[in-house]
């Protein structure tokens, strides 16, 4: 028996059941339902695009290659944001987004920090942050964030809930596998600390038993003081650190100068605040895999 025949028959039956008269016409609800979502930064774009799939469009307020901390919004962007079905953001991360949501409330504001255990901003490291906003650098957090986005979008577009749920199941499996690879890959490191430019990796360090030594504060634009640089050098020696990490979207001058002074290597540890051609991958999962390799090498994990 040829396989093609029953498949074609099934397809025809399915079309008949849904009342479709031609390919691409409306489903049984009468109107083709799509969702429009605005996201505040790249990690949220990654999650939301995967969850929405073909069922809508996702607009990122932060341009690729731009630094999300410093985001400024035009009146036009704020109006467009309020016109979409939902806005996905991290409360306390980007002041412009928090302000826009307060002044021009969108139809649905999804704060992905709901349900996460937030870490306090390190004393002396914060400017306007009470908690550390870099929640996406823990894959386990990304699982919770994906589930939050999917559940909230389903309340506003119940007819798409099964699509969101199916896409989220696949996404969560990939994030779970990433989390497992970090757990295994960082379980046997002989060096327990790593030095980064801006202090973005507390959730990662916390999840996998490492210690982050940040040169600058929570914002990449913060300049470290001479005292902080001296302290980082002292800590780097104390922990036997091999590598000073820098990142793709911010200046590497301070990291390179500290590494030069101490005779250490430099390498990229990417906070994934945006994806550009300079990124070591085309999406969150790929760049995180590259981060894992970089940490394994720097921290001598075998
Ligand atoms: Zn940051």
Model confidence at 31, in pLDDT bands (50, 70, 90)? Answer: low
> Which superfamily does 32-182 belong to?
Nitrogenase molybdenum iron protein domain (3.40.50.1980)
How far away, in angstroms, is 168 Cα from ligand 1 center? 26
pLDDT value at position 221? 75
Q: Give domain limits for the chain.
A: 32-182, 188-298
Q: Is the pLDDT of residue 257 over 50?
A: yes
Q: Is the pLDDT of residue 91 over 50?
A: yes
Model confidence at 122, in pLDDT bands (50, 70, 90)? Answer: low
32: three-class secondary structure by DSSP: coil
Q: Is the pLDDT of residue 16 over 90?
A: no
Q: List C-alpha distances in Å: 182 to 61, 245, 293.
A: 30, 18, 9
How far away, in angstroms, is 181 Cα from ligand 1 center? 23
Per residue in 198-248, pLDDT (tens digit) is: 889 999 999 999 999 998 877 777 788 889 899 999 999 999 999 999 987
What percentage of residues in the chain have a pLDDT greater than 90? 73
pLDDT value at position 70? 87
How far away, in angstroms, is 165 Cα from ligand 1 center? 30
Q: Is the pLDDT of residue 27 over 60?
A: no
CB–CB of 257/228 below 8 Å?
Answer: no
Mean pLDDT of the chain: 88
Identical fold between 32-182 and 188-298: yes
pLDDT value at position 253? 87
How far away, in angstroms, is 219 Cα from ligand 1 center? 5
Give CA–CA dist 177/242, Å, rounded.
28
Our measurement of the distance from residue 158's CA atom to the centroid of its chain's CA atoms, rounded to an integer in Å, reads 25
Model confidence at 123, in pLDDT bands (50, 70, 90)? Answer: low
How far away, in angstroms, is 200 Cα from ligand 1 center? 5
How far away, in angstroms, is 95 Cα from ligand 1 center? 13
**CB neighbours of residue 300 within 10 Å:** 12
pLDDT value at position 112? 98
How far away, in angstroms, is 62 Cα from ligand 1 center? 13
How far away, in angstroms, is 221 Cα from ligand 1 center? 9
pLDDT value at position 220? 75
Model confidence at 23, in pLDDT bands (50, 70, 90)? Answer: very low
Model confidence at 166, in pLDDT bands (50, 70, 90)? Answer: very high
Q: Is the pLDDT of residue 33 over 70?
A: yes
How far away, in angstroms, is 48 Cα from ligand 1 center? 20
pLDDT value at position 254? 87
How far away, in angstroms, is 68 Cα from ligand 1 center? 8
Q: Is the pLDDT of residue 297 over 60?
A: yes
Q: Is the pLDDT of residue 100 over 60?
A: yes
Domain at 188-298, CATH class? alpha beta
Better-predicted residue by pLDDT, 276 or 14: 276
pLDDT value at position 291? 98
How far away, in angstroms, is 197 Cα from ligand 1 center? 10
Please give the structure tokens belonging to residue 104.
């021009």
How far away, in angstroms, is 237 Cα from ligand 1 center? 25
Q: Any idea which of 26-30, 127-131, 257-261 has the lowest mean pLDDT?
A: 26-30
How far away, in angstroms, is 25 Cα from ligand 1 center? 44
Q: Is the pLDDT of residue 126 over 90?
A: no
Give CA–CA dist 132/3, Å, rounded.
56
How far away, in angstroms, is 132 Cα from ligand 1 center? 9
Helix spans in the chain (H): 4-18, 42-52, 75-83, 95-103, 139-156, 161-185, 202-207, 226-239, 253-262, 284-298
pLDDT value at position 251? 78
Average the pLDDT over 16-25 and give the result: 41
The pTM for the full model equals 0.87
pLDDT value at position 159? 97
Closest CA to 201 of 151, 270, 260, 140: 270
How far away, in angstroms, is 203 Cα from ligand 1 center? 12
How far away, in angstroms, is 213 Cα from ligand 1 center? 14
């Amino acid at each position: 028996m040829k396989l093609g025949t029953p498949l074609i028959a099934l397809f025809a039956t399915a079309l008949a059941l849904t009342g479709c008269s031609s390919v691409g016409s409306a489903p049984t609800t009468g109107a083709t339902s799509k969702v429009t979502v605005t996201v505040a930064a790249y990690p949220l774009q990654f999650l939301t695009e995967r969850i929405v799939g073909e069922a809508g469009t996702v607009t990122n307020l932060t341009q690729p290659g731009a630094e999300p901390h410093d985001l400024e919004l035009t009146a036009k962007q704020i109006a467009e944001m309020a016109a979409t079905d939902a806005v996905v953001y991290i409360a306390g991360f980007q002041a412009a987004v928090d302000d826009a949501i307060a002044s021009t409330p969108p139809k649905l504001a999804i704060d992905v920090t709901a349900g996460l255990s937030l870490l306090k901003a390190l004393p002396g490291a914060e400017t306007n942050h009470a908690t550390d906003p870099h929640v996406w650098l823990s894959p386990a957090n990304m699982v919770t964030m994906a589930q939050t986005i999917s559940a909230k979008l389903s309340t506003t577009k119940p007819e798409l809930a099964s699509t969101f749920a199916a896409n989220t199941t696949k996404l969560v499996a990939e994030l779970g596998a990433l989390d497992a690879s970090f757990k295994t890959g960082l379980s046997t490191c002989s060096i327990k600390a790593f030095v980064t430019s801006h202090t973005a990796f507390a959730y990662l360090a916390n999840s996998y038993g490492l210690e982050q030594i940040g040169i600058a504060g929570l914002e990449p634009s913060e300049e470290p003081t001479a005292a902080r640089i001296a302290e980082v050098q002292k800590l780097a020696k104390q922990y036997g650190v091999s590598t000073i990490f820098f990142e793709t979207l911010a200046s590497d001058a301070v990291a390179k100068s500290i590494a030069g002074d101490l005779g250490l290597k430099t390498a990229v540890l990417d906070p994934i605040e945006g994806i550009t051609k300079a990124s070591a991958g085309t999406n969150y999962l790929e760049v995180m895999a590259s981060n894992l390799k970089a940490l394994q090498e720097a921290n001598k994990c075998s």
